[in-house]
Amino acid sequence: MKKVLVVCGNGLGSSMIVEMNVKAALKEMGKEAEVSHTDLTSAKSEQADLYLGSEDIVGGLEDGNKNVVKLKNLMDKNELREALENNL
């Protein structure tokens, strides 16, 4: 099963909301994945198939190996769905 990790600065607010939106989008798409959220520091050591977060935060995760998607608007469900369709 694919793992999606939603990242924000503190791992408490926006990442939790985006996690809920990811789960809803996956359900609509008929796809399954393990979805969780965390802060930027913790995300650096966690393994996932897809890292999602705002473009000003998740850029710090790019190491050439991680699949990182920078979202321009965390609350844009269409952008989120497109990111999931293109990366899972």
Q: pLDDT per residue over 23-62, tens digit each? A: 999 999 999 999 999 999 999 999 999 999 999 999 889 9
Residue 1 has pLDDT above 90, yes or no: yes
User: What is the pLDDT, as a whole number, of residue 37?
Assistant: 96
Q: Tokens 């998607």 sit at which residue?
A: 69
Mean pLDDT, rounded, for 13-30: 96
pTM of the model: 0.93
Q: Domains in the chain, please, with CATH?
A: 17-87 (3.40.50.2300)
Burial of 50 from C-beta contacts in 10 A (0-12 / 13-18 / 19+): buried
